[in-house]
């Protein structure tokens, strides 16, 4: 039973990145503990305030954000951090070499109904002369990530991680308070008959996406020639974990409700780290028009459309958008 720190020491030769991941998990264990206590810990319900995205925050959104910030700020190699919940990044240690971006609690609308949520993180190398208190320091493409991962808080608490050499899964053993290695070199099946999308937004999608999903729903009688099942959990962590476990395609496409926003999900906090994991596991991640990790970010809260998962199905979805 290999513990996370032992695995990292043997698998990653970057001691600073090892320290960051190990330190970040201290906060995630605390979040997991509070989630398991639920209402007994007083973490359910609204915080009665909005985040920078204009979304109503849950109490645990705020708590999780503060826990992660405090843990990261105490790690010498962390030069700065940026949270999906806050408008501006935060400078930490002037001599630090790395920047950490995170979504402290993905899917937080699920908290009060006791459904899966998660934490997503991305680690970037900081330029030596960069100012970690400014957005410019963080505006790197997803291809420049040195590590990415998520923690899934469900019936068991799982860490899924890549440092650029495969994808690995760890389970939090509450008996010893440590993450232990569970799955190695995870691979996503190339084909699938399962898709995840929020169908309530269908009328706002581009015609190409509407046609693709319509063809999915036609099953064996349709042009794709096979029956599909649909899933939707309203937590990107849960959706991507299912894909890493048994294949599938997850989509949060562009829609016309706000023409100024190319999607709902955030490039830096969700799109890039999840794309790195999916690609490292042999899948594909696209906006439906280009690789997500090649998108040049213009702001730390930039949004992006997302189509990711089993490679053959993602290629099929892309073909609907670029065939003309």
Annotated binding site for substrate: 106-109, 198, 264
Q: Are strands 306-309 and 284-286 parallel, antiparallel or unpaired?
A: antiparallel
How many C-beta atoms surround the C-beta of residue 322 within 10 A?
Answer: 10
Annotated binding-site members for Mg(2+): 84, 103, 105-106, 270
Q: Which two tokens stand for residue 189?
A: 């099946």
Overall size of the chain counted in residues = 324
Measured distance CA(107)–CA(114) in Å, rounded: 11
> Any residues with CB less than 8 A from the CB of 36 and at least 6 apart, and which?
none
Annotated binding site: 84, 103, 105-109, 198, 264, 270
- Quick one: 256 exposed, middle or buried, by C-beta within 10 A (0-12, 13-18, 19+)? exposed
- 3-class secondary structure per residue, the chain: CCEHHHHHHHHCCCHHHHHHHHHHHHHHHHHHHHHHHHHHHCCCCEEEEECCCCCEEEHHHHHHHHHHHHHHHCCCCEEEEEECCCCCCEECCCCCCEEEEEEEEECHHHHHHCCCEEEEEEEEECCCCCCCCCHHHHCCCHHHEEEEEEEEECCCEEEEEECCCCCEEEEEECCCCEEEEEECCCCCCCCCCEEECCHHHHHHECHHHHHHHHHHHCHHHCCCCCCCEEECCCCHHHHHHHHHHHCCEEEECCECCCCCCCCCEEHHHHHHHHHHHHHHCCCEEECCCCEHHHCCCCCCCCEECEEEECHHHHHHHHHHHHCC
């Amino acid at each position: 039973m290999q513990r996370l720190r032992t695995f990292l020491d043997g698998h990653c030769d970057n001691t600073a990145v090892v320290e960051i991941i190990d330190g970040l998990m201290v906060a995630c264990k605390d979040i997991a503990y509070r989630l398991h206590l639920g209402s007994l810990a007083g973490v359910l319900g609204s915080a009665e305030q909005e985040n920078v995205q204009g979304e109503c925050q849950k109490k645990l959104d705020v708590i999780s954000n503060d826990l992660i910030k405090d843990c990261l700020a105490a790690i010498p190699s962390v030069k700065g951090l940026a949270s999906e919940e806050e408008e501006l990044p935060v400078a930490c240690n002037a001599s630090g070499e790395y920047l950490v971006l995170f979504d402290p609690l993905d899917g937080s609308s699920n908290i009060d109904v006791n459904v899966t949520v998660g934490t997503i993180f991305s680690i970037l190398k900081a330029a030596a002369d960069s100012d970690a208190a400014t957005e410019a320091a963080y505006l790197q493409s997803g291809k420049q990530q040195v590590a990415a991962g998520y923690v899934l808080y469900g019936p068991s608490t799982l860490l899924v991680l890549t440092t650029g050499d495969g994808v690995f899964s760890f389970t939090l053993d509450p008996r010893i308070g440590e993450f232990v290695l569970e799955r190695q070199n995870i691979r996503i099946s190339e084909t699938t008959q399962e898709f995840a999308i929020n169908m309530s937004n269908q009328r706002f999608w581009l015609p190409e996406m509407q046609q693709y999903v319509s063809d999915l729903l036609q099953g064996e009688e349709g042009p794709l020639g096979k029956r599909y099942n649909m899933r939707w959990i309203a937590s990107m962590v849960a959706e991507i974990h299912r894909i890493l476990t048994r294949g599938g395609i997850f989509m949060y496409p562009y829609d016309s409700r706000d023409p100024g926003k190319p999607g709902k999900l955030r490039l830096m906090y969700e799109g890039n780290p999840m794309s790195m994991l999916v690609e490292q596991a042999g899948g594909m991640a696209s906006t439906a028009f280009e690789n997500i990790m090649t998108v040049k970010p213009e702001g730390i809260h930039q949004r992006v459309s997302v189509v990711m998962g089993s490679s053959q199905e993602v290629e099929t979805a892309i073909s609907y958008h670029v065939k003309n």
